[in-house]
Structure 1
Amino acid sequence: MNFGAFARKKLNLLALMVMAAFSLAAVPQGAMAQEEAVQAATSVAEGDVVTEPAAPGFDYYGPEMIKGQPTPSDEDLWASMNFQAQHTETGEYALWMHDAILIPMVFIISIFVLFLLLWVMFRYNKRANTVPSKTSHNTVIEVVWTVIPVLILVVIAVPSISLLAEQYKTPPEDAITIKANGYQWYWGYEYLDNGGFEVISNMMPESEALDEGLPPQLAVDNRMVVPVGVPIRLQTFGADVIHSFGIPSLWFKLDAVPGRINEKMLIIDEPGIYYGQCMELCGARHGYMPIAIEARPLDEYNAWVQSQPGGMTRAQVEALESAPAVEDAESAEDAAEAGDTEAVEEAEVADNAAEAA
């Protein structure tokens, strides 16, 4: 033990004796001091630690906030056959490409091919052409039916490549990391940047879901809560077999493979509840492991995090990680001031660590 650490321990002992004497003289104010301590926030500065406040209250969204789910055919036949409304920038671009480029192109080509078939059937049948044509080549037609498909593919390729690049964009360094673990047959959501706790999500019984006004076979007991408008580094992992994490209304699908971690960036546009399912055949109860994401504003997300066992906001995690570096820096500085020349270098290293934290 160096001299600085020893001196600090002696000073701490003296401070405790003074505080004990003061507390005996201030007994009438004990109740008031205790009440104030309960309301104080946690802080780590110059070795002082005060009590952490109670976690903010949190209420989950009700069925009125459902934004992403399949549409029954008896409610809207066209919507039941089409893509769900999109709530991410990538999803909106992909839906635009489908509706504005692919569908019109498919429709025009189908009508054109149908016209050619009917024209050939009626114009060049046996009754209309008793003497068949002996033409074997037509240069113009061969050039046309080669060039036009190439142009069509080029028109499709430009937005397709942009969409692929957008879907696999690398998350920024400050993205919130959440890991979705696929189990047989349920999901577990691990919040790696918020204390490392895991939320286990199972399908809610049908009767219970109906009582709460939630869709059967999609509602779950514990939703995956995420922040709105914040980049999320969503990782997937298969704990036993291959699963697939898919949310149609967020244009998100990523396989969960045993022994390998996959990741993609997800940014949700607006608060709400978004449903999905495992999209890879994973066993007997593959159809009974739905996904429910509840997107909340960042302050409400932080409130939910603090309501979970071991949950901490990123600010709390950073403060906790920086505390040892600050303490080491102070210990090294004390040793250097006491004349320990070997501790000077240690003090500099600790100062750099504290600044980095």
Structure 2
Amino acid sequence: MAHPSQLGFQDAASPLMEELLHFHDHALMIVFLISTFVLYIIVAMVTTKLTDKYLVDSQEIEIIWTVLPAVILIMIALPSLRILYLMDEINDPHLTIKAVGHQWYWSYEYTDYEDLGFDSYMIPTQDLETGQFRLLEADHRMVVPLESPIRVLVSAEDVLHSWAVPSLGVKMDAVPGRLNQTAFITARPGVFYGQCSEICGANHSFMPIVVESVPLDYFEDWSFTVLQDS
């Protein structure tokens, strides 16, 4: 969960988000080194005779500023392609959930269970209880088992939406008439919040996503209770 004055990302709650954080730090360090080097060259050109034509126009310098950017691009591209492959890989999911975006709420269908589904609406500010977060709490949470591969099928009923949970490293567009899929594994128990990341209308900011990760035994009890109540 984000907190006031936070500068970095939320704490990772899935292996995928940990990989994304590592790649972010890797790329940011490369950008920092490039910026420092360029700043040094600018200062040196202003304060010294670095602009000497025999230095600036030399063949060695041209080779360096041709080869070095290519090496930097490779250093960024290789880990980037690896993470893109991991994000697209879905192997033997233990549970499949269909998330459908509406104006302006989400509905969830647990496709491995018969008749297990519900709508998830934002809790109005006046109905919040102590400790709940404004604009982020939902009346029904998407409950998933801990440390289990979860596949989420994402679609929309009316306009474009986007199902996104930052701490899980998940963001998938919900397109009417199309079924997109994403996957994640929760590495720790807890409640993880997200919001629709597509400008989908007047109440765009009022359709939160709440994912609760619980042990398998608790999940089975929860699913049985929901089925009994439906």
Query: Fold conserved (TM > 0.5)?
Result: yes
Matched-pair contact (CA < 8 Å) for 2:154–2:180:
yes
Matched-pair contact (CA < 8 Å) for 1:185–1:285:
yes
Alpha carbons of structure 1 residues 95 and 134: separation in structure 2 relative to 1, 3 Å: closer
Structure-to-structure mapping, 1:31-180, within 5 angstroms: 69-73=1-5, 80-99=6-25, 101-123=26-48, 137-172=57-92, 175-180=94-99
Structure-to-structure mapping, 1:173-192, within 5 angstroms: 175-192=94-111
What displacement does 1:310 show? 6.1
What is the SS of the residue equivalent to 1:81?
coil
What displacement does 1:285 show? 0.7
Structure-to-structure mapping, 1:251-266, within 5 angstroms: 251-266=169-184
In structure 2, what is the Cα distance between the partners aligned to 1:164 and 1:144?
A: 30
Alpha carbons of structure 1 residues 145 and 302: separation in structure 2 relative to 1, 3 Å: same
Q: Residues 313-350 of structure 1: CA distance to partner in whole angstroms, max 9, x if unpaired?
A: xxxxxxxxxxxxxxxxxxxxxxxxxxxxxxxxxxxxxx
By percentage of residues, which structure has more helix?
Answer: 1
Matched-pair contact (CA < 8 Å) for 1:197–1:310:
no
Normalising by structure 2, report the TM-score: 0.93
Q: Which one has a bigger Cα radius of gyration? A: 1
Structure-to-structure mapping, 1:1-357, within 5 angstroms: 69-73=1-5, 80-99=6-25, 101-123=26-48, 137-172=57-92, 175-209=94-128, 211-309=129-227
What displacement does 1:175 show? 2.6
Structure 1's unaligned 5+ residue stretches are 1-68, 74-79, 313-357
Residue type matched to 2:94 in 1?
A
Aligned length: 230
In structure 2, what is the Cα distance between the partners aligned to 1:311 and 1:148?
A: 64
What is the SS of the residue equivalent to 1:112?
helix
What is the SS of the residue equivalent to 1:263?
strand
What displacement does 1:135 show? 8.3
In structure 2, what is the Cα distance between the partners aligned to 1:204 and 1:171?
A: 35
Matched-pair contact (CA < 8 Å) for 1:246–1:278:
yes
What is the SS of the residue equivalent to 2:182?
strand
Q: Residues 245-279 of structure 1: CA distance to partner in whole angstroms, max 9, x if unpaired?
A: 00000000111110011112211111110000000
By percentage of residues, which structure has more strand?
Answer: 2
The ranges of structure 1 where at least 4 consecutive aligned residues each deviate by more than 3 angstroms after the TM superposition are 132-137, 309-312
Residue type matched to 2:84 in 1?
L
Q: Residues 188-239 of structure 1: CA distance to partner in whole angstroms, max 9, x if unpaired?
A: 1111111143211111112332x33111111111111111111111110111
Residue type matched to 2:114 in 1?
G
Work out the percentage of aligned pairs sharing the same amino acid.
39
